Amino acid sequence: MEVYLATVQSSGEEASMLSLITEADFIVIMVLLALVFMSVSCWAIIVQKAWRLRAARIQSARFLDLFWNTKRLDEVYEQCGKFGKSPVAEVFKSGYQELAKIMAQKDAEGRTADATDNLTRTLRRAAAVESTNLEAWVNFLGTTGSTAPFIGLVGTV
């Protein structure tokens, strides 16, 4: 590619980016297309993540305000539908549903031996699900960030 640039510049022609792309061979074009695809994909993921995290942060703050300012958990649970993008609200919803099951079993059977273990397990599982949802596509960003320089290097060689 450098030899081509020197030849084009020495012959008096101006080497434009478009002329370099149109006169490139198949491998160089494929490398360029791969890099463009990776770049566009990464930017789309970054923008989507920024919007998703912003919405999660705003709705979680609103949910926590509601949670701390309301005296009854059932009132908070009834309003959880307003906070669909809040991971905190989703964890609360799972915990509240499990707590309702525990209370129903306690009334029927009179025992609560595994109640705290079940509630803890439910809250951990819900937190893991929400964390996984927030981390979606981060592996693609990491892989792309690691491999793109090497793909670009292949194109220059």
Residues 9-42: pLDDT tens digits?
555 456 788 888 888 889 889 999 999 999 999 9
Q: pTM (2 decimals)?
A: 0.77
Residues 58-72: pLDDT tens digits?
999 999 999 999 999
Which pLDDT value is given to residue 54?
Answer: 97
CA proximity to 32, closest of 47, 46, 18: 18
Amino acid at 113: A
Which pLDDT value is given to residue 112?
Answer: 60
- Delimit the domains of the chain by residue range: 44-156
Judged by phi (left if over 0) then psi (alpha if -120 to 50, else beta), residue 117 lies in alpha
Which pLDDT value is given to residue 17?
Answer: 84
Share of the chain above pLDDT 90, in %: 64
Residues 82-125: pLDDT tens digits?
999 999 999 999 999 999 988 888 765 665 657 888 899 999 99
Q: How far apart are CA 146 and CA 106, in angstroms?
A: 53
Q: How far apart are CA 104 and CA 119, in angstroms?
A: 14
Share of the chain above pLDDT 70, in %: 86
Q: How far apart are CA 114 and CA 14, in angstroms?
A: 78
Residues 155 and 35 sit within 8 Å (Cβ to Cβ): yes
Residues 126-154: pLDDT tens digits?
999 999 999 999 999 999 999 999 988 88
Query: What token pair was written down for 95?
Result: 């915990």
Q: Would you say residue 53 has pLDDT above 80? A: yes
Q: Would you say residue 76 has pLDDT above 80? A: yes
